[in-house]
Amino acid sequence: MLYQVLKYLLLGPLLRLVFRPRIEGLEHVPEEGAAIIASNHLSVVDSFVMPAIVPRRVTFLAKAEYFTGPGLKGRLTAAFFRGVGQIPVDRSGGRASQAALSSGLAVLRKGRLLGIYPEGTRSHDGRLYKGRTGVASMAVTAGVPVVPCAMIGTFEAQPTGRRLPRAMRITIRFGAPLDFSRYAGLEDERIALRAVTDEIMYAILTLSGQEYVDTYAGEAKAEAQAQARAQGRRGHGGGKGPAR
């Protein structure tokens, strides 16, 4: 019920008013049956705008932190994400990663649309980063098509660190579904999963026109933060005058 109210009465109309989304290739999203929508990830608003314009319900695997925040804000955030049917995912790796895959497969086995960001986290600089193989594992195991999707303009609307988005026009572009049935039975083969993932990322790259970086987004973000801290320390030290 909350999902329907938000999509058609509250959040959906507001998002269309603020972002005036230009939609391209929506006919590529299957009208029925299970499929994965694999998108680049530039902003918090990605997870709201794209599901708002897709006629069918899209279930995302949301990071577990959205469901465990402290205080009233944390409880409201958790209630919102549960209400719209999002699934909490622990991104710490190991068994947690396997649990996330199982959750995604459960959505697909019900014949639904699963939304996923192969990069694993938001791009901190607007570039497209190397995809993680979870999307490939689910696509091959479930035997479902993958619809590549490109969010264009959402980074400029709300880059990392900006609390409120700018009102501006964005584009959401869908590509033709990718069929990976030729990899059936190879869901445990790392080389096969990497090949599938790279094909998905290339399709997203073609749609988005972003610069591609062959590094995981989380690692690049951590390196950028470390460099910023180091520069801050040097700048702070430099303001004390000459050493004696």
| pLDDT over threshold 70, residue 74 | yes
What confidence tens digit (pLDDT) does each residue in 8-62 have? Answer: 888 889 999 999 999 999 999 999 999 999 999 999 899 889 999 999 999 988 7
* Among the listed residues 60, 146, 140, 46, the one whose alpha carbon sits nearest the alpha carbon of residue 107: 60
DSSP 8-state symbol, 109: H
* pTM metric for this prediction: 0.88
What confidence tens digit (pLDDT) does each residue in 101-119 have? Answer: 898 999 999 999 999 999 9
What is the mean pLDDT of the segment spanning 155-169? 91
Contact 146, 165 (CB under 8 A): no
pLDDT for the residue numbered 125: 95
pLDDT for the residue numbered 91: 63
pLDDT greater at residue 189 or residue 12: 189
Q: What are phi and psi of 72, to 5 degrees?
A: -65, -40
Give residues with Cβ within 8 angstroms of 170, minimum separation 6.
19, 20, 21, 22, 49, 151, 152, 153, 154, 157
**Domains annotated on the chain, with CATH:** 1-233 (3.40.1130.10)
pLDDT for the residue numbered 238: 54
Q: What are phi and psi of 136, to 5 degrees?
A: -65, -45
* Among the listed residues 145, 153, 89, 144, the one whose alpha carbon sits nearest the alpha carbon of residue 126: 153
